[in-house]
Amino acid sequence: MNWQVTLAIAAALFGAFIVWQVRPSLGPKRVGKARRQALADARARVTAATTPAAKAQALCDAGDARAFTVGSVTSAVGYYLRAMRIDPTSPEPIVRTARGLARRPRTLEALLWRRLGGAPWDGDNRRAAIAALVELHHVYAGSLRNRTRAKAVRHALAALGHTLVVPDPLASTDDLSSASSKDGSAGVAGRKGAGATPGPR
């Protein structure tokens, strides 16, 4: 093997090493750009929205864009909280919040209790209150695994006439009812990601 071949092999190996070193930074840059664009689009839709529901949806989209950006959880929480306040009677912003913060159960727990403490649970707000309690139950029965709080949330739901039908691994068989809520609303029959929209429609 002459020196030209050796040099060519060394150059190829060096080039491969450089490409390998640079490769990890390419993906995040593209993802970061896409998220910044998604955030800008969502902000524009917040400004242009003419109904509370449309504005809340755009705010949730902005929250999603921030929730998956490193170091931006506080900003995401702000967007989600605004969405819940702008459309206070709808369960949709609550379900979107739970989905966006699914990997941060402590943050989600605090935000859901803040929502429950800031609005009535009856009247037009009943469906939203049920949604927040159902998402709290998922947190306590899942990632945080707190039997006492999960049971307390079930009692709160029962007081609102809503009975969960999803088996709870932290509860005894006798503690859960398979019946639907007393007012005829369907319980949560299944959950993908952070959860399905609960409560009567």
Cα distance between residue 46 and residue 40, in whole Å? 10
Query: Torsions phi, psi of 63, nearest 5?
Result: -60, -40
pLDDT digits (tens, 9 = 90+) for 124-169: 999 999 999 999 999 999 999 999 999 999 999 999 999 887 554 5
CB 165 within 8 A of CB 192: no
- Which residue from 34, 31, 38, 56 is spatially nearest to 46, judged by alpha carbons? 56
Interval 14-26: pLDDT, tens: 666 555 454 444 4
List the chain domain ranges: 31-87, 104-201
Q: What is the mean pLDDT of residues 183-187?
A: 40
- Longest alpha-carbon distance in the chain: 87
Q: Phi/psi at 175 (nearest 5 deg)?
A: -85, -15
CA-closest candidate to residue 94, choices 118, 70, 123, 69: 118
Helix (H) or strand (E) holding 54, with range, is: helix 52-67
Query: Within a 13 Å sphere around the CA of 179, how many CA atoms are in the beta-carbon half?
Result: 10
Asked if the model's pLDDT at residue 193 lies above 50, the reply is no
Q: List, for residues 79-131, the tens digit of each pLDDT value.
A: 999 999 999 999 999 999 999 999 999 999 999 999 999 999 999 999 999 99
Are the C-beta atoms of 62 and 43 separated by less than 8 Å? yes
pTM recorded for the entire structure: 0.69
